[in-house]
Structure 1
Amino acid sequence: MFDDPERTAYDVRFRCLGFPVRVHPLFWLVAALLGGSFLQMGLLYWLLWIAVVFVAVLVHELGHALAYRYHGSAAAIILWMFGGLTVADRVPYRRGARIVVTLAGPFAGFALAAVLYGLARLTPWPVRGAPTELAFTYHLLIVVNLYWGIFNLLPVYPLDGGQVCREVCEGWRAGAGRYLSLQISLWTASLLALYGLLGWWEELRGGGPLSRVLPPWVPLGSWWTALLFGLLAWQSYQLLQHERYRRW
């Protein structure tokens, strides 16, 4: 699910900041499905959602790619399925450099959100007196970049947070760190999949205990978060079994 996908005749290819970028057709499909609720507002808002997701994921992967370039590696960007993938010709040798490369993606999105927020604070553009579509795009860019970065920092493999967790665990417990990080990944993904199911159940019922207890800025789970983290939990379980066999 998170490996380099096969090339298709419908891939969109271009270069950005000198990096080759390939957009797989499944990227557009998944983005369109996730933003299906925006169709209630109109076709234009649904298309704006897809465009915002594209920009947010591309900026995230550019953060990884620029960090690879800084450490002397060539990189290529692939957008597909639930996000993106940055492939480098070689991985930095030092653990600290690998952690920096991993964190560069989420923090690139945070930086974009901060710039947009600061722009609106310093100038009347783009929220005061702007067309509704522009204000919608502005707010959505901030929200998606913030939540996409936070999502990627979760200690679930192969998300960025899961990779940082593995590096930290391997540095702390040589020989057993990968095993420990996969355990953390499995339990975290399983709990989040359960949270997604509970949120979906509350959505179908029109409310519940989570809606009453959690602050409004905490997103409730949904069917797609339950599916995604269920798949990640299963993948972590398989990797954990492989690691147990390898250690044995």
Structure 2
Amino acid sequence: MLQEPTPSPYDLRFRLLGFPVRIAWGFWVMAVVFGYSWVQSLDGMLRELSPGIIPLLVLWSICVFVSILIHELGHALAFRQNGIESSVVLYHFGGLAIPRSGRSFGSLRLKDDLWISLAGPLAQLFSAVVVIVLVKLSGYRLDQFDTLYRMPEWLQQTIHADDGAVMISDSVGLYAMVDFYLFPSIFWAILNLIPVLPLDGGRIASSLVQMRGGSIETALWISVIAAGLAALYGFSAGQQYMGLLFIALGVMSYQQLQSAGGGSY
């Protein structure tokens, strides 16, 4: 499931910070499919102020592209820190940082593997913090967190600008851009930290378990249980794709357990 897609003549290619980057055409399809309902809800909320579904979808796709690219560059920079050069691929399942040359990936210490896994979500979350700080310093109040994200009161108070600040929704373009960037940068990053293999959270959990003397089978059982809980939450919250995704990931972890002898060496 999470493997590099076959190159296509329709892919976009460039280099950034010395890393080869390839954007598979399926990435844009994924962005539109995943973003349509979110864009539609914002379009309905903005009503006559909305620029329309198509411009909003384009803006959403750009924001998702930047957010996921930053995530994968976090992994790539952590690889480089450990003597491994990598390339970045964005595709229909999100993104991959793929080791290409240098030190063998298998020679990494568990704590190095943990840091590489953590670096992507941290970079993505940090970029969201930067956006929030810049918006606040510009004198705006992030009213998305009142109307869309249903944040707890204490977190809203932390994020919001001072009383009397201009509501960010007074600027439709800025509101949409910030909304579209913060959603994947915060919520998708957190989702990726659920301890389910092969997500970053699963790799982090696997490293921690083995650093404490546990086995990979223990990490796989954690992955199966966490995937089941995440799928249950997804279906109960009306997020059908999330539910199906975590069922598929849970089945993958369970199959790995079976091939490893049922959970013991």
Common fold by TM > 0.5: yes
User: CA, structure 1 residues 125+75, in 2 after alignment: closer, same or farther (shift >3 Å)?
Assistant: farther
Aligned mates of 1:39, 1:147 — CA distance in 2 = 19
Q: Deviations over 1:161-192 (max 9, x none)?
A: 10011111122235xx1100011101111121
Match of 2:245 among 211, 218, 228: 228
Structure 1, unaligned runs of 5 or more: 201-221
Deviation at 1:224, TM superposition (A): 1.1
Deviation at 1:107, TM superposition (A): 0.5
- Per the alignment, residue 239 of structure 1 pairs with 256
User: Structure 2 length normalisation: TM-score?
Assistant: 0.79
* 1:60-71 mapped onto 2 (5 Å cutoff): 60-71=71-82
User: Structure 1 length normalisation: TM-score?
Assistant: 0.84
The number of equivalent residue pairs is: 225
- Per the alignment, residue 203 of structure 1 pairs with none
* 1:22-33 mapped onto 2 (5 Å cutoff): 22-33=22-33
Q: Does 2:226 correspond to 1:185? A: no
Deviation at 1:140, TM superposition (A): 2.4
Aligned mates of 1:246, 1:148 — CA distance in 2 = 30
- Per the alignment, residue 125 of structure 2 pairs with 110
Structure 2, unaligned runs of 5 or more: 44-52, 143-165
Aligned mates of 1:120, 1:197 — CA distance in 2 = 34
Deviates more, 1:127-136 or 1:230-239: 127-136
Match of 1:54 among 65, 70, 83: 65
Residue identity (%) = 35
* 1:125-140 mapped onto 2 (5 Å cutoff): 128=166, 131-140=171-180
Aligned mates of 2:216, 2:247 — CA distance in 1 = 20
Do the aligned partners of 2:217 and 2:264 also contact (CA within 8 Å) in 1?
Answer: no
Q: Deviations over 1:71-109 (max 9, x none)?
A: 211010011122111011332622211111111100101
* 1:1-248 mapped onto 2 (5 Å cutoff): 1-37=1-37, 38-39=39-40, 41=43, 42-88=53-99, 89=101, 90-91=104-105, 93-124=108-139, 128=166, 131-174=171-214, 177-200=215-238, 222-244=239-261
Aligned mates of 2:257, 2:194 — CA distance in 1 = 18
Do the aligned partners of 1:126 and 1:134 also contact (CA within 8 Å) in 2?
Answer: no
